[in-house]
Structure 1
């Protein structure tokens, strides 16, 4: 991973696949005509080599080479675990 690769922080939606998870990234976009901010979401398929991320976790991901047809992002670290995750 290079230092110039795109990095994002998002929430894990699904961790049911082996070595993969789905991360949603929420952001705001200003409407051109009306100026109102609109909530948008991007879902990314992320490579999770050690299956460390669980549903609801806030994670940091980085762009990488294509690993499969839909996976071009890799998990860097779990920023914040989901509440009530362990125990």
Structure 2
């Protein structure tokens, strides 16, 4: 089964080797037929501690690393 890859904006880098990434997605409301934006925050493991608030990050699913971290940083999309 392929691992999911998401892209979002770093909203917090306070934790040691941890970033919080806010991922936004759009979906069509089933009744109103209007585009609705929804967002979710994911805690991701950042081994290099390189990402800062406002950076765009790509994260990938991984085995649980702690209570909240089930994602790890794949790359820094703004640097490449």
Q: Structure 1-normalised TM-score?
A: 0.86
Counterpart in the other structure of 2:29: 31
Provide structure 2 residue ranges, at least 5 long, that are not aligned to the other structure: none
Q: Structure 2-normalised TM-score?
A: 0.93
Return the alpha-carbon distance in structure 2 between the equivalents of residues 68 and 45 of structure 1: 10
Counterpart in the other structure of 1:53: 51
Instruction: Give per-residue Cα distances to partners, 1:57-83, cap 9 Å, x unaligned.
Output: 0011100001111100000110015xx
Counterpart in the other structure of 2:41: 43
* 2:32 is equivalent to residue 70 of structure 1: no
What SS does the corresponding residue of 2:77 show, helix, strand or coil? strand
Instruction: Give per-residue Cα distances to partners, 1:25-68, cap 9 Å, x unaligned.
Output: 01111111110011100100000011011100001110000111
